[in-house]
A and B are shown apart, each in its own frame.
Chain A
Amino acid sequence: MTWVNAVVQGILLGGLYALLGCGLAVMFGVMRIINLAHGDLAVLGAYLVMVVLDHANVSPFLALLPVLPVMLLVGYGLQVTILERSLRSGVLVPLLTTFGLSIVIQNLLLEQFSPDVRSLGGEAGSVATASWQVTNDISISAIGGLVLGVAVLVLGGLQLFLSRTQAGRQMRATAQDPDTAELVGVNARAVYARATAIAVAIAAVAGLFMAIRSTFFPFAGPTQLIFAFEAVVIGGLGSLWGTLAGGIVLGVAQTIGAQIDPQYSVLAGHLVFLAVLASPRGGLFSIRGATT
């Protein structure tokens, strides 16, 4: 039965990975940009919430509210200043600039806050520790369920946004053919900036949950980035619901690996990732080479 519990825990963990991967999927889907600073932006979000908590005695979820518009602006600014120019020079350059950005963010965080490992679990109160004992062997943690729920809401919300709203349609059109989008009145630059803003804000949400669920420190970004990527790629690049599926597959792989031996947890995730990539479909919801 502990195996079943492992799967359940994996599904819950997958919610976090899906949330982490969501922003990455948006940026890649719309602009073909691999944002190597994504994990660091999530960590930045966590630190900003921590700063708010230092000044106000509220729940971290409330503290997230003022952080979100800040992160939206950060994303917008990022796109307009750095990423837009990088895009023009070809597909390689955004990789390089976001890598540089990643290093800058990590070290600025180190400079501003100490290298101490922190957690926001304490401030979150009972949510962080409560759990629901389903059976003798299976328990569902409150925070795990919450993250999964939020992930589904965010992904669902994004999907609705893309398919039902004019701004969402414009984003899809620009993703498929930015040149022609301009010819039908869509401001491609603004669309890209919106996409990055959304991606960075979602990263902050993911960062908060990561901080509550476990810990964070200035250099925690790259690890989260890899998990986010694995979630997106396993699910199939360019599919939002695929990111949820990918996150869950990754989470389950890790928890089952941990059941065998705690040291194998992350490795199991890596192996599943490589196996999925190597398979003919190249991803759960994608066809190799297909775009959005």
Chain B
Amino acid sequence: MTQSSATVPAPRYGVERWGRLSISFTAFAVALAVAFAFVPVLFSLGTTQKATSLLILVLLAAMWNALAGYGGLVSVGQQAFIGLGAYATVWLCNHDWNPYRAMIVAALFCAGVSVPLSFLVLRFRGAQFAIGMWVVAEAAAILVSLDQSLGAGTGTSLIELNYYTPTQRQHYTYWLTLGITVFFLALLFLLLRSRLGSSLQAIRDDEDAAASVGVRVLRGKWILFVIAGAGCGAAGAMTLANTLFIEPTSIFGVDWTAYMIFMVLVGGLGTFEGPIIGAIVLFVIQNEFGDNGVWYLVGLGAAAIGFALLLPRGIWGTLEERFGLRVMPVGYRLRREGT
């Protein structure tokens, strides 16, 4: 090498977690959450109920994304927890619990159930896990429908909620849903920023390689599984409170998975912001086109196919990739000092 070159000092880099965009957006998100608390006060009961549905969708999307996007666990059976959460609430209320406390306990119950269940299902990979969870949901649905005290096959409602006025009921339901949704989102956010977050990313990219550098793969997946179980259980309880009537076929139905897949796929799998966007998209579609019956569902299915083929990274994922956006500070950035 005879070519001479002027010596240029090597650029210095620093690692940062918060960029300017991240800080402003996180502040915005917190403000938004606070603003959302005022919805029941400012809007009608009907709107509040719709807003509750939206929050439930956000929660479900975030949970499914946590499993599939961060844990690589594709579950076609999260509806098992949705149904369990709802029916656990019914059971507790049958035993004279306050409905809203019952809902929280039902979510915890689902977390509890997910622990022994995880020993069974987390040994499966890929297809076996996906279908295995679905079978668990189907089995749970059958078991519930055989129980008369839970309303059997015809369904049940939460009559204890009648002790509140409709206004109170809708408001309390809304606030509880908001609180739970924000809680789980915050929990996921902190989880992703922690060491576990990097482990999960590694697991998602290459499980064996991650294990070889000491990442505790099973533990990471397990944590996600339990959180998703609790979150979906809470969503189920909230759905019961919001819609008042449930029956086994629908609350344990695989349609829930269809919606979760749609939201996460459209929003962006594996991103933090994606599921939220996907939930908003589904919510808008449901409200605008829900009355079109068959064609609405056909359109939904076709949209899912279209997104999977054309925009596999979803709306947010594509935006992130295109513009190098990092809004929520869950990752690390290499920043050249002096920039």
The contact of B139 among A89, A97, A270, by CB within 8 Å, is A270
B39 proximal to A (CB < 8 A):
no
> Smallest CB-CB separation from A230: which chain B residue?
B135
Q: Is the Cβ of A96 less than 8 Å from the Cβ of B265?
A: yes
Q: How long is the Cα–Cα vector from A28 to B130 in the complex, in angstroms? A: 14
Minimal beta-carbon separation of A240 from chain B (angstroms): 16
Tell whether, in the assembled complex, residue B304 and residue A107 are in contact, meaning their CB atoms are under 8 Å apart.
no
What chain A residues lie within 8 Å of B74 (beta carbons)?
92, 95
User: Are A104 and B127 closer than 8 Å at their CB atoms?
Assistant: no
Bound Cα distance A61, B206 (Å): 49
Q: How far is the CA of A271 from the CA of B132 in the complex (A)?
A: 11
* Chain B residue at smallest Cβ distance from A110: B294
Query: In the docked arrangement, what's the CA distance between A247 and B128, Å?
Result: 16
A189 within 8 A of B: no
B residues less than 8 Å from A273 (CB atoms)? 135
Please indicate the chain B residues that have their CB under 8 angstroms from the CB of A104 in the complex.
298, 301-302, 305
A40 to chain B, nearest CB (A): 11
Residues of B whose CB lies within 8 Å of any CB of A are 68, 74, 76, 120, 123-128, 130-132, 134-136, 138-139, 142-143, 146, 254, 257-258, 261-262, 265, 269, 294-295, 297-298, 300-305, 308-309, 312
A contacts with B, residue count (CB < 8 A): 44
Check A274–B301 contact: CB distance below 8 A: no
- How many angstroms from the CA of A97 to the CA of B262 in the assembled complex? 10
A108 at interface by CB-CB < 8 Å: yes
Within 8 Å of chain B (Cβ to Cβ): is A183? no
Task: Give complex CA distance A237, B125 in Å.
Answer: 12
Complex Cα spacing A270 to B133, Å: 11
A226 to B312, CA, bound (A): 26
Q: Given A89-B312, A110-B294, A274-B139 in contact, is the A96-B301 Cβ separation under 8 Å?
A: no
Determine whether A142 belongs to the interface, using a CB cutoff of 8 Å to chain B. no
Which residues on the A side are within 8 Å of B257 (C-beta)?
99
Closest to B127 in A: A34
Are B123 and A102 in contact, with the CB atoms below 8 A? no
Bound together, the chains give a CA A49 to CA B143 distance in angstroms of 36
What's the nearest-Cβ distance from chain A to residue B73, in Å? Answer: 10
Q: How far apart sit A93 and B312, CA to CA, in the bound complex (Å)?
A: 7
A104, closest chain B residue (CB): B301
| Structural contact, B142 and A277, CB atoms closer than 8 A | no
Chosen A-B contacts, 22 in total, with CB atoms closer than 8 Å, are A86-B308, A89-B309, A93-B308, A93-B312, A96-B304, A96-B308, A99-B258, A100-B303, A107-B294, A107-B298, A108-B298, A222-B254, A226-B134, A226-B138, A230-B131, A270-B136, A273-B135, A274-B135, A277-B124, A277-B128, A278-B123, A289-B125
- Asked if A101 meets B301 with Cβ closer than 8 Å, knowing A86-B309, A89-B312, A95-B74, the reply is yes
| Residues of B contacting A34 in the complex (Cβ-Cβ under 8 angstroms) | 127, 130-131
Report A-chain residues with C-beta under 8 Å of the C-beta of B135. 226, 229-230, 270, 273-274
Cα A89 to Cα B130 with chains together (Å) = 18
Residue in B closest to A274 when the chains form the complex, CB atoms: B135
- Tell me which of B131, B138, B305 contacts A233 (CB under 8 A): B131
Chain A positions 254 through 276: 1 when the CB is less than 8 Å from some CB of chain B, otherwise 0? 00000000010011001101100
Min CB gap A126→B, angstroms: 35
Distance of A97 Cα from B131 Cα, bound (Å) = 16
**Chain B residues whose CB sits within 8 angstroms of the CB of A99 once the complex forms:** 257-258, 261, 301, 304
Among A86, A266, A282, A289, which residue has its beta carbon within 8 angstroms of that of B142? A266
Quick one: CB contact mask for A82-99 with B, threshold 8 Å, 1 for yes? 100110011111011101
In the complex, A273 Cα to B139 Cα: how many Å? Answer: 11
Q: Quote the shortest CB–CB distance from A77 to chain B (angstroms).
A: 14
- Closest CB of chain A to B74's CB: distance in Å? 6
Q: Kindly state the separation between the CA atoms of A99 and B131 in the bound complex, as whole angstroms.
A: 13
The reply to whether the CB of A116 lies closer than 8 angstroms to some CB of chain B is no
A43 at the binding interface (Cβ < 8 Å): no
Q: For residue A95, which residues in chain B have a CB less than 8 angstroms away from its CB?
A: 74, 76, 130, 261
Looking across the interface, which residue of chain A has its beta carbon closest to that of B140?
A270
Please report which residues of chain A, range 1-42, place their CB below 8 angstroms from some CB of chain B when the two chains form the complex: 28, 32, 34, 36
Q: Is the CB of A100 within 8 A of B139?
A: no
| Residues on the B chain within 8 Å of A106, using CB | 297
Residue of A nearest to B305 (CB): A100
> What's the minimum C-beta distance from A201 to chain B, rounded to whole angstroms?
22
Bits for A149-190, please: 1 = Cβ < 8 Å to B, else 0.
Answer: 000000000000000000000000000000000000000000
Q: Is A111 an interface residue (CB 8 A)?
A: yes
- CA of A233 to CA of B303, assembled, Å: 30
Does A220 count as interface, using CB distance less than 8 angstroms?
no
A70 at the interface (CB under 8 A from B): no
A5 to chain B, nearest CB (A): 24
Q: Is the CB of A270 within 8 A of B132?
A: no
Give chain A nearest CB distance to B268 CB in angstroms. Answer: 13
Interface pair B254/A100, CB less than 8 Å apart: no
B309 touches A274 (CB 8 A): no
Task: Please report the C-alpha to C-alpha distance between residue A230 and residue B134 in the assembled complex, in whole angstroms.
Answer: 11
Are A92 and B68 in contact, CB atoms less than 8 angstroms apart?
A: yes
> B123, B127, B302: which contacts A100 (Cβ < 8 A)?
B302
